[in-house]
Amino acid sequence: MSRRLTEKNRKRLADETGLRAAPWGGRLSIALVYPNTYHQGMSNLGFQSVYEWFNRRPDTRCERFFLPDAEDLEEYRNGSTTLLSLESQRQLTDFDLVAFSISFENDYLNLAELFSFANLPLWRADRDARFPLLLCGGVCAFLNPEPLAEIMDMFAVGEAEVLLPDLVKTLKGQAEADREDLLRDLADRPGIYVPQFYHPHYAESGVLEGITASGEVPLPVKRQWLAEIDQAQSRTCVSTPDTEFASMKLLEISRGCPRGCRFCAAGFIYLPFREHSVPQLERQLAEGEGGPLKIGLVGAAVSDSCAFAGLGQKILAAGGEVSVSSVRVDSIDAEQVRLLVESGHKTLSLAPEAGSQKMRDVINKGVNDDQILKAVEMVASAGIPNLKLYFMVGLPGETEEDVEAICELTMQIRTLWETIGRQRGRLGRLTLSVNPFIPKPFTPLQWAPMTPRSVLEKKYRLLQRRIRPLPNVDLNLESLKRSELQGFLARGDRRVGRILPALGQGTSLRQACREAGLDLKFYLSRERAADEHLPWEVIDPGVARSYLWHEYELALEGKVGQPCFPGCHRCGICP
C-alpha cells in the first residue's frame, strides 16, 4: 500500500484490525510482508489468518507491509519515501522477525525492489546481527524454496498453525542468543529449513548431484501439517473495502484434494485431504461481524465437501449468499447449483482441463465428455447465464488433434449452452481460459518438460483460428512469457535466484540467463531422469517419491489412477 493511501486510511484500517492502541513493549514484533500490493495481499486468506494468529497472542505484535501501488513506485525508487508498516509507520528493520508470505513464483520479481525500499540487504550473506531474521512462508516455501535460498534466512515448510507456536517460543526463549546459534537451534525445529546449513553439489552438466548438511540438522526437512483442521482459523478476519473480496467473507471449507490430478501442486502438497466439520464452520460464521453477507467457500475441492449443501442452505436461510470459485464437473449436483442460483451467481467455472479423453487420462482428471456436457446442461438449465471453462495446452504427449479436441468440445458446449439459453430467453457468455501446462514440484508431472514457447505459440494460433470467430465466446490466453517465467522459477535451483534483481528490473528471462551463464532449456524443456536429484527435495512433503514416479509412468502410458479413499496408504502420507 502506498504511503499516501496509508496515511489517508490508516486510522480506518487500524480500527478494523483493533490494533491502533496495542502496545509494543515486551512483545516479539513481527513484520508480515506480502510481496505484492495491498489489494492482492489482503485478498489472501492465508495471509490474513497468520496476521490474526500473531495478534491474538499477548506476547507478539504483527504489522503489515505491502509493495507500493504502481502510481507511487517512483517516490520509492528515487528514495524520497521509505517502506513503512501499515499500522504504526515503522520501518521493516525495526522488527524482530520479518515474515514473508509468498504464494506465487512471479512475485519473486518484486523482492529486490521491496528490499531496496526498506533499506534491507537482499542477500542473506550481507545481513548481520543488525538486521532482523527473515522467514519465508506460504505455498512457495514448501513447494520449492531453493530460488530464494540465498535471500531468506529460513523457510516455514508446511502449515502455519503447526509451525508458528514453536517458532515463537524459540525466538522469545533465545532473544539474546548469537545469530548463528539461534539459526542452528531453529534448524532443529520440525519444519524449519535454514538454507545456510545445506549445500547443493552440481555435476559439470549442471545437474544436481546431491545435497549435504552441516552438523546435525535434518535432511530432508519434513513438511508439517495440521491433522485436525477444526483447530484452525478458517475465515476472513480483517474486513477492508480495498480488495477484490470487499463484499465477501471467505470461509475455508476443506484443505487439500483427494482427486490426484497429476498436474496440480495443491492436490499433493496439502495432502491428506481434510474437511472442516459443519459445527465448526457454523461457529466460524457466527463469529463474523455484521448481518447477512456473501460467503465465499474456499477449498481445492469445494463441491466434493459433504458440508457444501448443508452449510449453503443455512447461509441462504440467514439471508446471505454463497460463492465458489469453481466446481468439479463430476460432483456438482442440482442442489448445489440451486444454492448458487439463489445466491445470485451469474458465472460458474468448470475445469475440463483438456479436450480429449486421452489427455484427461494423462492428467488423471477422471471425467469424460458425457459428464462435462451433463454438468453444462445442469448449470445452463438452472439459469446461470455465463460459463467459464479452464483448459491447458502443452501437456505431455499432446498432439494437434488433442488441441483440436478443445475446439470440438467447446463447440458442443456452446451449442448446448445456446440452445438452453434461447429456451430461457437469455444468452450469456462462454469464456475459455487457456493456460500452458507448467510442471510443478512434488507432482507426478514434476519430471516432465515444459513445452517450448514456439510450439505453444502454434497451439495458441490454432485455438485463436477456431474459437475467436464463435459468437458469444471469449478466449483468454495466458501470457506465454509469464508462464515460461513461472516454470523457470517453479523448478529452479539456488543458481536461478541470482538473476531475480535483473528480472525485477525488466530484463527478459532469456537475456538474464545468458548474462548469468544459465541454460534456460536446462531448466524448462528438459525431462528429468528417474534417479536425478531434484533441488526441492531438500524438503519432504510426506508423499513418497516412488508413488509420484509410478503416477508419472501411468501418465506417460495414458492410464488413470485412483483418487484417495478412506484406508488408502498408497502415497505414504497417511499412517
DSSP 514-573: HHHT--HHHHHS-PPPTT---GGGGEE-SS-HHHHHHHHHHHHTT-------TT--SSS-
- Three-class SS state of 475: strand
User: Above 60 in pLDDT, residue 291?
Assistant: no
Q: Which of 305, 218, 225, 190 is nearest to 258 (CA)?
A: 305
What is the model's pLDDT at position 16? 52
CA distance 141 to 365: 27
CA distance 528 to 447: 5
User: Above 90 in pLDDT, residue 379?
Assistant: yes
What is the model's pLDDT at position 305? 81
What is the model's pLDDT at position 4? 45
Quick check: 124 and 152 in contact, CB under 8 A?
yes
Split at pLDDT 50, 70, 90, the class of 8 is very low
| Poorest-pLDDT segment among 269-278, 279-288, 431-440 | 279-288
What is the model's pLDDT at position 562? 84
CA distance 179 to 342: 57
User: Above 80 in pLDDT, residue 302?
Assistant: yes
CA distance 170 to 50: 18
Split at pLDDT 50, 70, 90, the class of 6 is very low
- pLDDT: which is higher, 288 or 326: 326
Average pLDDT over residues 281-288: 80
Quick check: 324 and 302 in contact, CB under 8 A?
yes
Split at pLDDT 50, 70, 90, the class of 12 is very low
User: Above 80 in pLDDT, residue 239?
Assistant: no
What is the model's pLDDT at position 23? 59
The percentage of the chain sitting over the pLDDT mark of 70, rounded to a whole number, equals 95
Split at pLDDT 50, 70, 90, the class of 436 is very high
**pTM, two decimal places:** 0.93
User: Above 90 in pLDDT, residue 203?
Assistant: yes
Q: Residue 436, Cβ neighbours under 10 Å: how many? A: 24
Look-up of cell digits 517453479: 490
CA distance 412 to 245: 33
Average pLDDT over residues 327-344: 88
> What is the rounded average pLDDT for all residues in the chain?
91
User: Above 60 in pLDDT, residue 425?
Assistant: yes
* Bond into 35 cis (ω within 30): no
Split at pLDDT 50, 70, 90, the class of 319 is confident
pLDDT 10s digits, 73-86: 999 999 888 999 99
- Three-class SS state of 258: coil
- pLDDT: which is higher, 314 or 355: 355
CA distance 519 to 205: 11
Average pLDDT over residues 281-289: 78
